[in-house]
Amino acid sequence: MRALQASTSYSAGLGISSVAAPPSRPRRRLGAVAKVEPTEKSIEIMRKFSEQYARKSDTYFCVDKGVTSVVIKGLAEHRDTLGAPLCPCRHYDDKAAEAQQGFWNCPCVPMRERKECHCMLFLTPDNDFTGQEQAITMEEIRETTANM
Amino acid sequence: MQTSIISFGAPSPPQPPNSSPCSLKTRQPNTLFFTSTSNNRASTLSTQTLSRKLICKPPAGKYLSDDYLVKKLSAKEIQELVKGERNVPLIIDFYATWCGPCILMAQELEMLAVEYENNAMIVKVDTDDEYEFSRDMQVRGLPTLYFISPDPKKDAIRTEGLIPIQMMRDILDNEM
């Protein structure tokens, strides 16, 4: 295997808590898949959390608010289904176990320790994709995810 | 932004048969349902109820392109693609519905698909739908891309995270 390491990866520090069979997914998918939308309440909670944490960590939202909106919705969806805002930009062997373990619950450990958010939700000022804002409205979230 | 590139050996695959469905549409005024206003365009789409001989074949619409060039495939379809024969590189994009960088990656891949046309095959897999397949492919961070060469002797390359389109071009041009 030829490895070209562009930068540090999380896998070295990540302790995968379980290699058990994947959990039974909470929703059945039949034929044409209807996307599961998070509740308004969870979206609002994660929106407020994102604004607050961006201010606290001196990070900014992406210049493309669509990215921010999608991630906030992903966090809200995991909050609804798992009880914790598990990072939506990862694939897990066992989501429930990971949510309980906490490493990837937003704000995840890499974010808390090194301000590394691979979801592009919280971006440091030196990032190419960083915008100027630390706020996002529900209206913006609705508009930018309307056609998804 | 974290990105890692890993390559490993993998078997090589085929090109799916091209099939472009031709849809026949017949337009005729349907006075039963439409009043005549300047804005109304009367149209019916079904030829099923008509039993008349067509003098000439209606336009097939085969010059209309699909909305998206990068198609979502199932695990089974991907496996058949990888196992079969191919003469172009294959890019597999593992994504999730609510992953923000995956949206940006999808846009880049659409542009790449336009640039490379038939010189590369680009497909995507929803990791929430294909849970077991994603687990078997050891997908962790999203988006994850697999670049699989048509040459079975060459290692496959895997990248994690959003990567610039130029990096994808370099991999396709130099590593495949």
Residue that wins the pLDDT comparison between B40 and B7: B7
One pLDDT digit (tens) per residue for chain A, 148 residues = 443 434 333 333 333 334 444 444 444 444 444 567 899 999 999 999 999 999 999 999 999 999 999 999 999 999 999 999 999 999 999 999 999 999 999 999 999 999 999 999 999 999 999 999 999 999 999 999 987 7
Residue that wins the pLDDT comparison between B112 and B12: B112
Whole-angstrom distance, CA of residue A28 vs CA of residue A95: 16
Whole-angstrom distance, CA of residue B153 vs CA of residue B48: 52
Q: Identify all chain A residues contacting B139, using CB atoms and an 8 Å cutoff.
A: 91
Per-residue pLDDT, B111: 95
Whole-angstrom distance, CA of residue B117 vs CA of residue A15: 41
Q: Identify all chain B residues contacting A64, using CB atoms and an 8 Å cutoff.
A: 104
Which residue, B21, B146, B6, B174, is CA-closest to B81? B146
Element (H, E) at A3: strand A2-4
Using DSSP's 3-state secondary structure scheme, residue B41 falls into coil
- The question of whether B99 is a catalytic residue gets the answer yes
Question: Under an 8 A CB cutoff, do B7 and A2 touch?
Answer: yes
Mean of the pLDDT values across residues B122-133? 95
The complex's ipTM?
0.77
Interface probe for A, chosen from B5, B74, B98, B142 (most Cβ of A below 10 Å), is B98
Whole-angstrom distance, CA of residue B82 vs CA of residue B74: 12
Whole-angstrom distance, CA of residue A98 vs CA of residue A18: 8
Q: Identify all chain B residues contacting A91, using CB atoms and an 8 Å cutoff.
A: 94, 96, 127, 134-135, 139-142, 144
Question: Under an 8 A CB cutoff, do A29 and B129 touch?
Answer: yes
B99, B122, B157, B176: which one is catalytic? Answer: B99
**Residues of A acting as catalytic residues:** 89
B102, B113, B125, B172: which one is catalytic? Answer: B102
DSSP state of A62: B
